[in-house]
Chains A and B, each alone.
Chain A
Amino acid sequence: MTWFLVHFAEIVFYSLAAVALAGAVGVIAFRSPVHAALSLLGTFLAVAGVFVLMQAEFLAAVQVLVYAGGVMVLFLFVIMLVKARDIPDEPQYVRRLVPAAVGLGALLAALVGVGIWAASGGLPADGAALRMVAGAPLGNTEAVGWSLYRDYLLPFEVVSIVLLVAMIGAIVMGRKESGRGGAA
Chain B
Amino acid sequence: MISTAHVLVLSLALFTLGVVGMAVRRNFITVLMCVELILNAANLNFIAFSRQLGDLTGQVFAVFVITIAAAEAAIGLGIIVALVRLKQTVNLDQVNVMEG
Contact = CB atoms under 8 A, between A and B. Distances in A.
Contact of B14 (A21, A101, A128): A21
- Among B14, B72, B77, the one with the most A-chain Cβ atoms within 10 Å of its Cβ is B77
A176 B55 CA distance: 47
What's the dominant secondary structure at chain A's contact region? helix
A25 B57 CA distance: 31
B29 A40 contact: no
A40 to B, nearest CB: 5
B55 A129 contact: yes
Interface in A1-59: 9-10, 13, 17, 20-21, 24-25, 27-28, 33, 36-37, 40, 43-44, 47, 50-51, 53-56, 58-59
Contacts, number: 233
Interface of B: 1-10, 12-21, 23-30, 32-34, 36-37, 40, 43-44, 47-57, 59-60, 62-64, 66-75, 77-82, 84-85, 90-91, 93
A50 B74 contact: no
Interface residues of A, number: 85
A130 B59 contact: yes
What's the dominant secondary structure at chain B's contact region? helix
Nearest to A104: B19
A167 interface: yes
B54 A128 contact: yes
A24 B18 contact: yes
A75 to B, nearest CB: 7
Nearest to B83: A82
A9 B1 contact: yes
A178 interface: no
A27 B75 contact: no
Given A54-B48, A170-B74, A78 B80 contact: yes
B56 A173 contact: no
13 contacts: A13-B6, A33-B27, A54-B2, A63-B66, A67-B40, A71-B36, A143-B56, A144-B59, A147-B60, A162-B68, A166-B71, A166-B72, A184-B82
